[in-house]
Structure 1
Amino acid sequence: MILDTPWPDIIARGVLLAIAAIIWVVVLIRLNGLRSLSKMTNFDFVMTIALGSLVAGAAQASDWKAFAQAMVAMAGLFVVQAASARLRKTSDSVEDLMQNDPVFLMRDGKFCDDALTYTRVAKSDLIAKLREANVLDYGQVRAVVLETTGDVSVLHGDHLEETIVENVKRV
């Protein structure tokens, strides 16, 4: 029982299990490729969060079966991510099912109020993102896009190549 275990043993066990879990994650990332922990899609973001939870669970495992289950679950996440990436490449319907559309929040210096409402983004939050992007004048803003990952892209300057925003949804 864990309560009967001396503190040095608990610490050593936690450290060793955490190290083993991290090494396993590194191996899985090397096998799956650089995109493993990117945040290119909402699925990637969910995978990253789930992976962190599984690493924590592995580090706290009370027995070897629980540890092994966490390690297998991590591998399963990578398999599902790789399979979904391949499916998204081959099928537009799978892509549409798995991926949200990016949305204009601002276009040519004007706020897209309907899009702000639709995406539940507060105007004050958008203005904060404009400040982060060093926007000094709304007239500089060619587009602000709420990306599929939840990131906000601020495109400003003299010219915007339309192909950069061709798949962005107008609300």
Structure 2
Amino acid sequence: MLEAHPLTEALNALFDLNKKTFFLILFSTFFIYIVVILYTRIFGKRSFSKMSSFDFAMTVAVGSMIATTILSDSVSFLEGAVGLLIVYLLQLIAAFLRRYPWFRKLTDNQPTLLMDGENLLRENMRSVRVTEGDIRSKLREANVIKLSDIKAVVFETTGDLIVLHKDSADDIDDWLLKDVQR
């Protein structure tokens, strides 16, 4: 009797899908998709925002739990749904606790001023690991033609670079830069 080559067996395993497995994946995918939509409607869109490290962790955890629930034999649909519920509840609790400065300080990044007018704030750039090239790219994207058109560039907690233009002689309202590290 001929023995199968290990490479052939491995390739066959890659494309092996029996009827039972197919239907389990199909139903798990359908129901976990419905559960994620339901939880997101109940707990709010904030569940997938990119505002804080908790929000990022939430997005990664949900994606991982969905994949595990759909593709793993060892995790049932109900276990996946309960796991997702717990992650959503943790997100809700974190969103509530973010009202308190001590919690925000513990969990959230602080926006950082990278340019004050035409001046690059190199120490701030180093601390958030942003290069001059990153800033130049964002300035071009924001249609800045002259450096004199810039009031400020802020590195937000989401990782976005925001360009505030000098459209008038007015100063930036202090409230807009209240929590920005200078």
Aligned mates of 1:40, 1:9 — CA distance in 2: 41
CA distance in 2, matches of 1:66, 1:124: 48
Structure 2 counterpart of 1:68: 78
- Whether the 8 Å contact between 1:109 and 1:138 is mirrored in structure 2 is yes
Residue 165 (structure 1) shift: 1.1
Gaps of 5+ in 2: 1-12
Residue 28 of structure 1 deviates from its aligned partner by 0.5
Aligned residues of 1:54 and 1:70 also touching (Cα < 8 A): yes
Q: Aligned pair 1:45/2:56, yes or no?
A: yes
- What TM-score does the superposition give when structure 2 sets the normalisation length? 0.81
2:42 alignment partner AA: L
C-alpha deviation, 1:84, in angstroms = 1.2
1:155 aligns with 2:164: yes
1:55-94 correspondence to structure 2 within 5 Å: 55-63=66-74, 65-89=75-99, 91-94=100-103
Q: Which has the higher contact order (CA 8 A, sep 6+)?
A: 1
The residue aligned with 1:168 is 180
Q: Deviations over 1:26-70 (max 9, x none)?
A: 11111112322122222112211221111111111214x443332
TM-score (norm 1): 0.86
Within 2, Cα distance between the matches of 1:82 and 1:133? 34
Residue 12 (structure 1) shift? 3.2
Q: 2-side partners of 1:132 and 1:8: how far apart?
A: 51
Alpha carbons of structure 1 residues 10 and 157: separation in structure 2 relative to 1, 3 Å? farther
Shift of 1:81: 0.9
Q: 1:9 Cα deviation (Å)?
A: 3.8
Paired residue for 1:10? 21
SS at match of 2:34: helix
Identity %: 33
Q: Aligned equivalents of 2:105 and 2:33: distance in 1?
A: 33
Q: Which residue of 2 aligns with 1:20?
A: 31
The answer to whether the Cα contact below 8 Å between 1:61 and 1:67 also exists between their aligned partners in 2 is no
Residues 85-125 of structure 1 deviation map (CA, whole Å, 9 limit, x = unaligned)? 11121x22112111121101111122111111111111111
Work out the number of aligned pairs and report it: 166
Unaligned runs of 5+ in 1: none
User: What is the letter of the counterpart of residue 26 of structure 2?
Assistant: V
Structure 1 runs of 4+ with >4 Å offset:
none
Q: Does 1:104 align with 2:87?
A: no
Gap change, CA 1:66 and 1:122, over 3 Å in 2: farther
